[in-house]
Chains A and B, each alone.
Chain A
Amino acid sequence: MTSEDYFIQGNEACARGAIKANCRFFAGYPITPSTEIAEDMAVFLPREGGTFVQMEDEISTLGAVIGAVWAGMKGMTATSGPGFSLMQEHIGYAVMTETPLVIVNMQRGSPSTGQPTMASQGDMMQARWGSQGDYEIIALSPSSVQECFDFTVEAFNLAEKYRVPVMVMSDENVGHMREKITIPEKVEVKARSMPEEGPDTYLPYRADPDGTSPMPALGDGYKIHITGLTHDERGYPDASNPQAHSKLVKRLCNKIRHHTNEISRIKTENVEDAEIIIISYGAPSRSALKAVRTARDQGLNVGFIKIDVVWPFPEEMIQKAAGNAQRVIVVEMNLGQIFYEVQRVLPEVKVELAPKIGGEMHLPEEILKQINSTKD
């Protein structure tokens, strides 16, 4: 098996990861700083026999992806904050109908149209809670061009395994930077689970013990009813039945919650016995890592945690890795989002926020200064 090296942008790496993961449908409404993903998919997909559609807005974009996925394709879209906001309605619909798909959000300065060419991590809570109701999604946060490729492939596999929308939550820094990446000739790809039983006995929403069910494509001969209304195992609306609603929504949440330790992932460096631990994800984790290494050179006992899969939140992993620290500093490009999750899971630890907005990554010195600040 041969692999090839490229010097490309994070956005281009996402597109290449999607193609390797057998994504054959992309609907998009190009938006800075994610536009290169749509551009590349428009070039790559026709060559692979796939389909690229530019839609009139981001609402229809995600609608088109949901339709393509039910027709048997693997589908993706890419956007940034303003488009992500418009997609929220269909994210809820994809959760309720258990439609596996991937959304790449190259986050930019916000609210509203904000800073098109500058970065932020302002959409992290929106990824978790942006659509109405109780639900769970999966979100990965790449910090390099190689991770853009790897995490996009992983996103498609997780989407298929758990039949859920999966978000790749990166930002302008990573989307536009160029680095060397290695693309293997083949990657591990999870195919869609098709029903083993025939159309007479198959129930589209009768879940396996792990909470998901096989998913045939429209046209395969199965009779399927797909609705955002509360539905029974046949997929028929059962919206006034309290028990049916409770059973369905709990299953949708638990199929993710009960597998948090399999889905989520953190990377740690020198956390054992560290007095201070820095927690970060995405682009600013690289500023944080530089600050941690400098602090250690100065003789400080500082550890580092990078969160690769932010949702579902890796609660037990963080507790295990940082539970004995005296101080934890959460570095993120917003005014506090994942910080509150860390605070929630580490009630005994002094958790501080190192926020930054304005569009630029934290300078390593800024984090170092906070590490060195007087403990109070």
Chain B
Amino acid sequence: MRKEVRIAGFGGQGIILAGIVIGKAAALYDGLQAVQTQSYGPEARGGASRTELVISDEEIDYPKVQHPDIFVAMSHEALLAYLEGLKTGGILIIDPDLVMEDEISSFITEHNIQVYHAPATRTADEKVGLRIVANIVMIGAITGFTGIISEEAARKAIAASVPPGTEDKNLSAFEAGMELSREEV
């Protein structure tokens, strides 16, 4: 089982941390192999941000993502930039408040993409009262929609990755994200 995940948005959304948390959950708490990589340019501040994960139950030879099974878009720019790579029959998770879904409807149909909606930024604002935890809300949604990591591993990885003293806020953000996945399903 080799699964490839790509998460993209803009700088400041915590995209890279989301990748690290998911990788940590898989590798340290779910007993899987995981490689997390990221791309950035020398000038990147507030521009595009992207993290990628390979998760497998076997040794990972080639560590880079080529054709993601799961693509999470947290900005419209990122959605348009990376949608092409998504595997036929793959999963697309979008924050509907930040992207215009109409523009990609033909790709979705042609490639038989399963689309899930996770308004992570609004949920972070309204349910947790902290916009900055939108990335953790999205981890909850990814976990709920795809099962790529277990809930228990995700909680442990979040607690181990966020600044001390912010664990409760972040775990409630994760629960809010899980809730989004239940609502849509």
| Residues of A participating in the B interface, judged by any CB pair closer than 8 Å | 5-7, 32, 116-117, 173, 176-180, 286-287, 289-290, 293, 360-361, 363-364
Interface-lining segment among B61-69, B104-112, B140-148? B61-69
- Chain A residue contacts of B66, Cβ below 8 A: 363
From 20 to 64 in chain B, residues with beta carbon under 8 angstroms from any chain A beta carbon are 20, 23-24, 27-28, 33-38, 40-42, 60-64
Query: Could you tell me the distance in whole angstroms from the C-beta of A170 to the nearest C-beta in chain B?
Result: 13
Q: Quick one: given A179-B34, A286-B61, A363-B66, are A117 and B20 in contact (CB under 8 Å)?
A: no
- B35 near A177 with CB under 8 A, answer yes
Instruction: State the total of A-B contacts with C-beta under 8 angstroms.
Output: 55
- Chain B residue contacts of A360, Cβ below 8 A: 64
Of all chain B residues, the one with the shortest Cβ separation from A362 is B62
- A7 near B37 with CB under 8 A, answer no
Report whether over half of chain A's contact residues are helix, strand or loop; otherwise say mixed: mixed
Query: Could you tell me the distance in whole angstroms from the C-beta of B128 to the nearest C-beta in chain A?
Result: 25
Q: Quick one: given A7-B27, A117-B42, are A361 and B34 in contact (CB under 8 Å)?
A: no
Of all chain B residues, the one with the shortest Cβ separation from A364 is B62
Pairs A–B under 8 Å by Cβ, sample size 29: A5-B27, A5-B28, A7-B23, A7-B27, A7-B28, A7-B36, A32-B42, A117-B41, A173-B37, A173-B63, A176-B37, A177-B35, A178-B23, A178-B35, A178-B36, A179-B27, A179-B33, A179-B35, A179-B36, A179-B60, A179-B63, A180-B28, A180-B33, A286-B63, A287-B61, A287-B62, A290-B62, A361-B62, A363-B66
Most A CB contacts (10 A, CB to CB) among B38, B42, B61 go to B61
Of all chain A residues, the one with the shortest Cβ separation from B62 is A290
- B63 near A180 with CB under 8 A, answer no
Of all chain B residues, the one with the shortest Cβ separation from A283 is B63
CA distance A5 to B40 in the complex (A): 27
CA distance A140 to B34 in the complex (A): 24
User: What is the interface residue range for chain B against chain A?
Assistant: 20 to 34
- A176 near B27 with CB under 8 A, answer no
CA distance A361 to B35 in the complex (A): 15
- B38 near A176 with CB under 8 A, answer yes
- Chain A residue contacts of B24, Cβ below 8 A: 7
Query: Could you tell me the distance in whole angstroms from the C-beta of A299 to the nearest C-beta in chain B?
Result: 19
CA distance A361 to B66 in the complex (A): 12
Query: Could you tell me the distance in whole angstroms from the C-beta of B65 to the nearest C-beta in chain A?
Result: 12
- B61 near A290 with CB under 8 A, answer yes
- Chain A residue contacts of B42, Cβ below 8 A: 32, 116-117
- Chain A residue contacts of B37, Cβ below 8 A: 173, 176-178
Of all chain A residues, the one with the shortest Cβ separation from B39 is A117
Apart from the given pairs A7-B28, A286-B61, A364-B62, 9 other A-B contacts in the complex at a CB distance below 8 Å: A6-B28, A7-B23, A173-B37, A177-B63, A179-B27, A180-B28, A286-B63, A289-B62, A293-B61
Query: Could you tell me the distance in whole angstroms from the C-beta of B49 to the nearest C-beta in chain A?
Result: 13
- A177 near B61 with CB under 8 A, answer no
Of all chain A residues, the one with the shortest Cβ separation from B38 is A176
Most A CB contacts (10 A, CB to CB) among B27, B28, B33 go to B27
CA distance A202 to B32 in the complex (A): 56
From 52 to 91 in chain B, residues with beta carbon under 8 angstroms from any chain A beta carbon are 60-64, 66
Interchain residue pairs A-B with the least CB separation, the first 7: A180-B27, A290-B62, A178-B36, A7-B24, A290-B61, A289-B61, A116-B42
Most A CB contacts (10 A, CB to CB) among B23, B33, B35, B41 go to B35
- Chain A residue contacts of B38, Cβ below 8 A: 176
CA distance A117 to B47 in the complex (A): 15
CA distance A168 to B37 in the complex (A): 21
CA distance A5 to B42 in the complex (A): 31
- Chain A residue contacts of B23, Cβ below 8 A: 7, 178
- Chain B residue contacts of A117, Cβ below 8 A: 40-42
- Chain B residue contacts of A178, Cβ below 8 A: 20, 23, 35-37
- Chain B residue contacts of A361, Cβ below 8 A: 62-64
Of all chain A residues, the one with the shortest Cβ separation from B160 is A7
CA distance A360 to B66 in the complex (A): 12
Of all chain A residues, the one with the shortest Cβ separation from B59 is A289
Cross-interface CB contact of A7 among B34, B40, B41, B64, cutoff 8 Å: B34
